[in-house]
Amino acid sequence: MKVSAVIVILGLVGAASALPFGRPNYQNMTAPNPDEMGDNFEGDIKFAADQVISPHTGILDPYWRWEKIGNNPTIPYVFDSAFTATHRAVIVAGMATIQASTCVRFVPRTTERDYITIQSANSGCWSYVGRIRNAQILNLSIQAGCVTKGIATHELIHAVGFFHAQSDVNRDQYVRIKWENVMEGKEHNFEVYTNSYVTDYGEGYDYGSIMHYGPYAFSKNYMPTIEAIYNTGEIMGQRDTATHRAVIVSGMATIQASTCVRFVPRTTERDYITIQSANSGCWSYVGRIRNAQILNLSIQAGCVTKGIATHELIHAVGFFHAQSDVNRDQYVRIKWENVMEGKEHNFEVYTNSYF
């Protein structure tokens, strides 16, 4: 009998459970990102004609998704001749950031019909959302300061098929839009999409997402246009890295891609995982132990990588280490003389009744 497992997660401690607070600290955030200030939709998004005409045809529609090679959505690209080798290296580093925490792959174009042309016209930082067919532009203006790893990553994520984080259907539960500070004629940049158009794939709202506006986006008076309702310690508008949460979710996606296991955000379930970051290393219980159970990924100890997150999540699913297999001595030799004193139990072999 085939058994499907559904694992409920609470998310990173300190996110949705944080207490409401007043005006956030906006020190060191004096200017919007270049990608937030353009004349395109939401500053840096271009729409294909079909997307504009049919407002409910969004990235949920497979038509706008990139074709897969194996299990990997694959995006061919070419560079405009305006970019130097240094510029190209920065942009490729943005691609590597995405590839490190997702199954998406960027490849130099050979003969593919659908591909991205990365150019540097003097029209700011912008991209189409998803695959619009044939050659499509992703613009990173050198003059406008768009060629940074963070902005390149941001625009490439649009090309993959994602909108801005603050357009999420649930955003009003997490941020306040200060309409009185928004530039006239730019109000549409703060629209909320419907569930028929976009999805957060169950990841939940992420203030620190590389796809989130900063607090001063489209401000007419140097006052904030977005205020966080909860103080999670994350910086809105950062363009430096994929967030810790995104890395952990990519670990879940790795497991889901090759098994019947599914991870879902907790609602009211009794048994669930709380993923926390106490300074006690990387560890998990094995299987379901009932009620709330901890899976720890210490940021300080370097546990928040896709590989380590995947490893600990597999423990939570119910698996022990491979070298504890009942038949392991047929395949490996344990060099007991080299093992730390008091750590020998870590190399025990389990019995068939247990493992």
| Catalytically active residues, by annotation | 155, 312
DSSP bridge pairs for 174: none
DSSP bridge pairs for 107: 76
- Which DSSP state fits 148? S
Scanning 74-148, the segments in alpha helix (DSSP H) are 85-101
The 3-state DSSP class for residue 24 equals: coil
Q: How many secondary structure helices (H) and strands (E) does the chain include?
A: 5, 14
- Which DSSP state fits 242? -
The 3-state DSSP class for residue 28 equals: coil
The 3-state DSSP class for residue 273 equals: strand
- Output the six-digit token pair for 263: 């991870």
Please tell me whether 56 is known to bind a ligand. Answer: no
Please tell me whether 311 is known to bind a ligand. Answer: yes
Please tell me whether 244 is known to bind a ligand. Answer: no
Please tell me whether 345 is known to bind a ligand. Answer: no
DSSP bridge pairs for 272: 292
Please tell me whether 158 is known to bind a ligand. Answer: yes
How many other CB atoms sit within 10 Å of the CB of residue 312? 22
Please tell me whether 321 is known to bind a ligand. Answer: yes
In the annotated binding site, the residues are 154, 158, 164, 311, 315, 321
Q: Binding site for Zn(2+): which residues?
A: 154, 158, 164, 311, 315, 321
